[in-house]
Amino acid sequence: MCGIVGYVGRSEAAPILLDGLRRLEYRGYDSAGVAIVNGDRVETRKCAGRIAELGKLVAERTPAGTFGISHTRWATHGKATDQNAHPHFDASGNLALVHNGVIENYQALKEELIRGGDTKFVSETDTEVLAHMIGKLYDASAPTNGSTPPQHEKNRLVAAVRVALQQVIGTYGIALVHRDIPDFIAGARRGSPLVLGVGKDENFLASDVSAIVAYTRDAVYLNDFDVVAVERDKFEISSVAGERGSYEVSKVEFTDEDIKKGDYPHYMLKEIFEQHGSVRDAMRGRLSLEECTAKLGGLEMTPAQLRDVGRIVLTGCGTALHAAMVGEYLIEQLAGLPTEIEFASEFRHRNTPMTRDTLVFAISQSGETADTLGALRESRRKGYRTLGICNNVASTIARESDGGVYMHAGPEIGVAATKSFTSQVTILALIALLLGRMRHLSTSEGTVIIEALEALPEKIEQTLKLSDHIRAIAKKYIAAPGMLFFGRQFNFPIALEGALKLKEITYLFAEGHPSAELKHGIIALIRPEIPSLFIAPDDAVFSKNLNNVEQVKARKGPIIAITSGSGAERLASVADDTVTVPSAPDFVMPVLTAIPLQLLAYHLAVELGRDVDKPRNLAKSVTVE
C-alpha cells in the first residue's frame, strides 16, 4: 500500500513525479504530495484527496528542480488530512521523507524525541518520527570545522539513515532528500517494496516498476535491509549494517503500453477482457501432450521429491485465498492428495500441525502481500519446502520461496483482482495435473484434462460476449441493498469470490455460501429485495442446486443463475435471470463461472456511480498488516 516515486536527473522533476504517482494511485489515494529541492530550499506541495488534487496544486505553483520525491498515501497512522500527507520533514525543515509501511514502535521513539525537548510534531503519522530521527542524527554528525566535500555529506546522510533504521521495529520503504545535498536521493526497504530504475543520466526510485516503465525498463529490485544512495549517473547499494550489497539489473517484462487502459473506460474491464490471453499465457509451454502432464520446472523439485509429497497446504489472502480454495478441490480430485487452506494472516500466528512430507504454496498476485510473505517465511523457518505462485518475477515472494510458478498475467492495475484470479486457478489446475499423473491418473485421463485446459481461452472469449446481457441484469438490481451468492463443490469458492467482488467495488452487502447451507440459517435472509445468485452449471450436483433455487423462489427471493448446457432450460421456469456459460468439465468450470460474477460486479458498480478502479478504503497491494 502507498506509492513512492523519486527522481534525480537533468529533467524537471515535477512532471515525472506526478506522472509516476498517477500510475501508482491504485496503491493508495487518501492523500498525495511532492518535495523537490530547488536551490537553497525544499519546495513541497501536498494535500488530502486524489492525485488530481495534487496536480492542481502543482499546476498553480510548479516547484522547479531536477530531483525530488513524491508519495500517494493509504492511511495507516493518522487520518487522511493535509497535515498527515507525505512528505514529512525533520526539525530543520531541510530533510524531506516519504514512507510506505508501519513503524510499530513509533510511539516509544516519538516519546524519546519529545523528551529531548527540541522536537515538535505537526502530524499524527509514524513517518514523521523517522524523518526527525534521521535529521537529528545527520545534524549531530556535522563537522565543526566548516564546509565538507559533497561526498562526505552524502555519506553522513546514509549513515544517519542506517543508524535510525536500526532502531526501527516494523516495515518500511523510504526515500528522502536534503536541501544541502544536491542531486541525491537516499532510499531503503524492509518489507515494503522499493525498486531502483536505472536510466541514462537519470535514476528513479519507486515502490512499483509500473511508475517508471515509461522512462526506463532497467530495474534493480532492492532486497530487505538494502540502503541505496542514488545520484544522476550512479548509485550504490549497501545494507543497513553498512556492508556493500550485491544487485542485478533486470529488464522489465512489460512496456508502458501494457499499463494503459486503451479504449476501455476502466482498468478492471480491460483486465476482465484480457483473461483469454492471461489464461493462455499461464499455460504456455507448460502442457505436454506427449507425456499427458504439466511441465513446471520452476518448482525446482525432482520427480522423486514431488512423488514423496504427502500433503499440500495452500495459503493466501482475499482473492488469492479463494483461488487456493478452488485449488484444494482440484488437487484432491485430480491428485488424491490431502490439501488444506490456511489464511495467510493466521498461518504464522498459530501452530498448524504439518507432517514432514508437507508442501506449502504461498499465493499472491503482487508477490509482496505482507501476510502471505509472513506465512512463507514462517513455513520456511520451520523447514518446510515452500513454493510461490505470483505474477511478479522480481517480487519478494518469488525471491524468497524455494521455487514456484509465475502467472505471466501481465500488469493488473484495477484494485479488484480479476485476471490474476483465473490465472491462479489455471496454475493450480496444472499443479493438480502434474501431481495426479505421478500418482493415479492414466495417460488418457491426462489427455482429457489437457484438452479441457487448452479449450479454456476460446470458452473465455465466448463467456465475455455475455457482457451486455449481464449489464442488463445489473440494471435490474440497482436498488438491491445486497446479494447472496451460492455454489457447491468447485463453485463454492466462486460464490465467495463473487461476493467479494461485489463488496469491493459496489460497497453493497454480499455473502457467499455453500448452497447446501441455505437451510442452516441463511434462508432467514431471503426476501423479495435481496437477489440470490446461484452458480449452478450442468454438473453432478445440478439437481441439488436446483432444489435450493426452488426453496428461495418459494420465499419470493429473486434468482440469478449462472449455468451451462441443459441447465439453462431446466432453470428457465424458476430463475428470474440466467447466464449460460460454455459447457466444460467441473475442474475447469470455476474459471468460466467467475467471469460473469466479475462482470456483474463491474456493471452494477458503474450503474451506481462507484469509482471502479479505486474503490474506497482499498489499495491494490496490501504490504502492511
Bridge partners of residue 42, in order along the sequence: 37
Set 136, 270, 503, 620: catalytic member: 620
Alpha-carbon distances of 570 from 218, 484, 536, 543, rounded to whole Å? 56, 21, 11, 10
Q: What are the grid coordinates assigned to 241, written together?
A: 549494517
Bridge partners of residue 312, in order along the sequence: 339, 359
Residue 574's SS3 state is coil
Triad 470, 480, 582: Cα angle to 5°? 25
Segment 17-29, tens digit of pLDDT: 999 999 888 777 7
Triad 614, 267, 72: Cα angle to 5°? 40
Segment 437-493, tens digit of pLDDT: 999 999 999 999 999 999 999 999 999 999 999 999 999 999 999 999 999 999 999
Distance CA 163, CA 238 (A): 13
Residue 623 — pLDDT band, cuts 50, 70, 90? low
Segment 274-321, tens digit of pLDDT: 999 999 999 999 999 999 999 999 999 999 999 999 999 999 999 999
Written as one string, the DSSP assignment of 59-75 is HHSPPP-SEEEEEEE--
pLDDT at site 424: 98
pLDDT at site 621: 66
Amino acid in position 177: V
The percentage of the chain sitting over the pLDDT mark of 90, rounded to a whole number, equals 80
47 is catalytic: no
pLDDT beyond 90 at 118: no
Write out the H or E segment, with its range, that includes residue 20. helix 13-24
For the full predicted model, state whether its pTM sits above 0.75. yes
CB 534 within 8 A of CB 545: yes
120 is catalytic: no
Q: Can you list the domains of the chain with their CATH numbers?
A: 3-251 (3.60.20.10), 259-454 (3.40.50.10490), 464-615 (3.40.50.10490)
Residue 260 — pLDDT band, cuts 50, 70, 90? confident
Set 2, 292, 317, 390: catalytic member: 2
CB 311 within 8 A of CB 355: yes
